[in-house]
A and B are shown apart, each in its own frame.
Chain A
């Protein structure tokens, strides 16, 4: 893959740095950590804001309800863990104690998707978007790159709604030259074309920024606000292109592709539609996620094939 001098940067690190900055300004900002402080780069936070760093141990259910209780006392609470543990192990607690009780907790699910390559199936969380977007009162976000992360976090922290933030493990390509503003419920058109609308969230979308795709005229929309979804920009683009490719490092079932296909159908649009995602399957270990993306049909090659099929007359 030929990236055009794109450097890699850790979204996780950007999250930790932004959170630290927010905590300096906001003395009501708390972290409830589920025993993964070093993995979320929260050492600096824990050292500086000792009384605002609550270590709940690897007990996801308790931690989620503790976070809700803390939030009900007026704090802004970030609940930090891996996506495969939180929201996976504590979903019913998030439903009742956070969403149903209207508690302003920000759930951080790191190491999401096949990108946690070597860790294998148990750690490659591929169902988190499905779990979280189905919950009333819950908003769902996934940044494209580290710069968007930095723009996104203050907005999420300021919002009074519970939200889920999906983070990848590895350092990933920096797409934005300078960060655009982030607005809940708004998507960014990061590349503009006329033939095919490409939709997705998170760093998997950065694969489209290789030279291999230069010959295609693509509308690439970064759906970092997974819920609420920016239906306006999506429908506008598909009305123009009449071809839609959705790509996500997640199960097909319950993913953003389902949300988008429902949007298309309920608005009476006719378009060709391809959804690239993990299809009713578990992940597995690999030394890098490119091998996994190739195996599960999410690689640049698979994307190229999908674009060709969308452009074909059939």
Chain B
């Protein structure tokens, strides 16, 4: 086993801090937004979009869990698809940056919000466009949805080796832990039994994420790939971490705002 360097040394680590701050300001300005999952998924999106793995002209990205759009918007602003100052219009009237992702936002390929549909859409896209890779981002809580399992069986049947599903596995969903609300059990083993290739990574370690996505894009020809990214809800702000109250937030009181900003600046 080759030991990867520590995660803090990754060249994209400063971006992980900067985009967390962008997400934080975006949601705080709007007064509400899904902050917990945006913080748990941001490193996945950075790995995908900023490490040179994802080819904007060739690959497809489908955000199945539309409420994670603040993280996607932050990344799209960084890569120049949308002006950075536009981030502060998030979820406001007439903004292109809707409260759940939609097609008005440059760089967004799928409008979502109702959970469980994106993986099926990604499977259809992967089937219709076999020359490219389709990467989908789902969450562990989203696996409550029966449609996810329909999509898993479908992708296996049609040997969608060009389909990659990254699961932001932060262990929480609105109202509690996923284990309390609907136990997932051994998700990796379930994917394996459904005919997928599975790999589990630390979803905040940019080296591990990058390696897993790169491998998924190059190695598999027949089997769809699931990357289970073990993440922390609200990662980066101590009082938000693993606290389902921060699945989404209303405007933070001043002291909390300052504490969070302070912690994120040091992230």
**A residues within 8 Å of B by Cβ?**
30, 32, 54, 56-57, 59, 61-75, 92-93, 95-97, 100-102
Complex contact A97–B128 (CB within 8 A): no
B-side contacts of A92, CB under 8 Å: 114
Complex contact A96–B112 (CB within 8 A): yes
Complex contact B129–A96 (CB within 8 A): no
In the complex, whether B194 has a CB less than 8 A from a CB of chain A is no
B127 CB, min distance to chain A CBs, angstroms = 6
Complex contact A61–B116 (CB within 8 A): yes
Q: What are 18 pairs between A and B in contact, CB < 8 Å? A: A30-B128, A54-B127, A56-B154, A59-B154, A61-B116, A61-B117, A62-B120, A63-B120, A65-B123, A66-B123, A69-B127, A70-B124, A72-B109, A73-B124, A75-B128, A95-B114, A100-B102, A102-B103
Q: Which residues of chain B (92-128) have a CB below 8 Å from chain A?
A: 102-103, 109-114, 116-118, 120-128
A75 CB, min distance to chain B CBs, angstroms = 5
In the complex, whether B147 has a CB less than 8 A from a CB of chain A is yes
Bound state CA distance, A71 and B153, in angstroms? 20
Bound state CA distance, A68 and B151, in angstroms? 13
A67 CB, min distance to chain B CBs, angstroms = 6
Identify B111's interface contact among A57, A93, A96, CB under 8 A: A96
A-side contacts of B158, CB under 8 Å: 54
A-side contacts of B146, CB under 8 Å: 61
Complex contact B147–A69 (CB within 8 A): no
Nearest chain B residue, comparing its CB with the CB of A28: B128
Give 1 or 0 for each of B130-147: 1 = CB within 8 Å of chain A CB.
000000000000000011
A91 CB, min distance to chain B CBs, angstroms = 11
A-side contacts of B126, CB under 8 Å: 69
In the complex, whether B263 has a CB less than 8 A from a CB of chain A is no
Bound state CA distance, A62 and B128, in angstroms? 15
From A57, A69, A100, name the one whose CB has the most chain B CB atoms within 10 angstroms: A69
**B residues within 8 Å of A by Cβ?**
62, 102-103, 109-114, 116-118, 120-129, 146-147, 150-151, 153-154, 158
Identify A93's interface contact among B109, B122, B147, CB under 8 A: B147
Complex contact A67–B117 (CB within 8 A): no
Identify B121's interface contact among A32, A54, A97, CB under 8 A: A97
B182 CB, min distance to chain A CBs, angstroms = 17
B-side contacts of A30, CB under 8 Å: 128
Identify B114's interface contact among A67, A68, A96, A102, CB under 8 A: A96
B98 CB, min distance to chain A CBs, angstroms = 11
Complex contact B120–A66 (CB within 8 A): yes
Bound state CA distance, A61 and B114, in angstroms? 12
A-side contacts of B147, CB under 8 Å: 59, 61-62, 65, 93
Bound state CA distance, A68 and B127, in angstroms? 11
Inter-chain pairs besides A54-B158, A73-B127, A93-B114, 14 sampled, C-beta below 8 Å: A32-B124, A56-B154, A65-B117, A65-B120, A65-B124, A68-B121, A69-B123, A69-B128, A71-B124, A73-B125, A73-B129, A96-B113, A97-B117, A101-B110
Complex contact B128–A101 (CB within 8 A): no
Given contacts A59-B150, A59-B154, is CB(A101)–CB(B103) below 8 Å?
A: yes
Complex contact A66–B124 (CB within 8 A): yes
A-side contacts of B124, CB under 8 Å: 32, 65-73
Nearest chain A residue, comparing its CB with the CB of B64: A65
Bound state CA distance, A59 and B146, in angstroms? 9
Complex contact B114–A62 (CB within 8 A): no
A-side contacts of B103, CB under 8 Å: 101-102
Bound state CA distance, A204 and B113, in angstroms? 39
Complex contact A69–B121 (CB within 8 A): yes
Nearest chain A residue, comparing its CB with the CB of B113: A96
Closest 5 CB pairs of A and B: A69-B124, A73-B128, A65-B120, A62-B150, A66-B124
Bound state CA distance, A100 and B117, in angstroms? 13
From B116, B120, B122, B129, name the one whose CB has the most chain A CB atoms within 10 angstroms: B120
Complex contact B128–A61 (CB within 8 A): no
B-side contacts of A61, CB under 8 Å: 116-117, 120, 146-147, 150
A-side contacts of B116, CB under 8 Å: 61
Nearest chain B residue, comparing its CB with the CB of A92: B114
Nearest chain B residue, comparing its CB with the CB of A30: B128
Nearest chain B residue, comparing its CB with the CB of A72: B125
